[in-house]
Amino acid sequence: DQLEKTDFVTTADEMIQEARELHPSIIAAREKLRAAKENINAVNADGLPTLSLVGEISRNDQLGQSQLAGVPASDVYTNNANIGLQVNVPLFEGFARHYQVQSAEAESQIRAAEYHKVTQQVTLDVWKSYHALISERENLRASEQLVANSHEAFKVAQGRYNAGVGNIIELLNAQNAWSNARQQNIKSLAAWRAARLRLAGSVGGVGLWAIAE
């Protein structure tokens, strides 16, 4: 029974939330925004002094030497180790650094606006597709009911004809109404399936089983 297979198992709000997390367009916009924010940090960091730990180990070999008077010559080995802190201060670059920071911040604002726009568009698409599917579901259910009613009318007309109280015109009209109802039901089912696919596409990455079953 098709009527038992068109109930939603996911609400519109749940689908919208799913789309905001998984839709490819939103993911791409979110990654661009993240990269732009990281670029601001990188540009700011390039203009700051840096502190680093430096170390050096050296060895001086003096062969055949003596450090004390009157002592026979011998080999002398000297090891030296140095460790310290090194501060690197970037040279003054005029206003170039300031402009680089402003440019990075402007890029981040553009990416934020794009992310907001994409998110709004996807949300609107999901909402419209969801309600379109609801409308097609109601049309499908109405066509199912029409098929059932016309079938009952045909059986009544057939019974009347077989009993000799009805005529062939009445029977043919009832049969024609039943046939038209079934054709309408086929069209409604196709429209419902198309709306279901459009909703799945607007959500992005969600299986059809999450929309209706």
Q: Name the token pair of 126.
A: 């999901």
pLDDT of residue 140: 95
CA distance 198 to 135: 13
Residue 33 pLDDT greater than 60, yes or no: yes
pLDDT in tens, 54-97: 556 666 555 555 555 555 555 555 666 666 655 555 555 556 66
Cα angle for residues 31, 35, 40 (degrees, 5° grid):
150
Among 96, 117, 125, residue whose Cα is nearest residue 32: 117
- pTM here is 0.66
pLDDT in tens, 169-184: 999 999 999 999 999 9
Among 156, 141, 146, residue whose Cα is nearest residue 178: 146
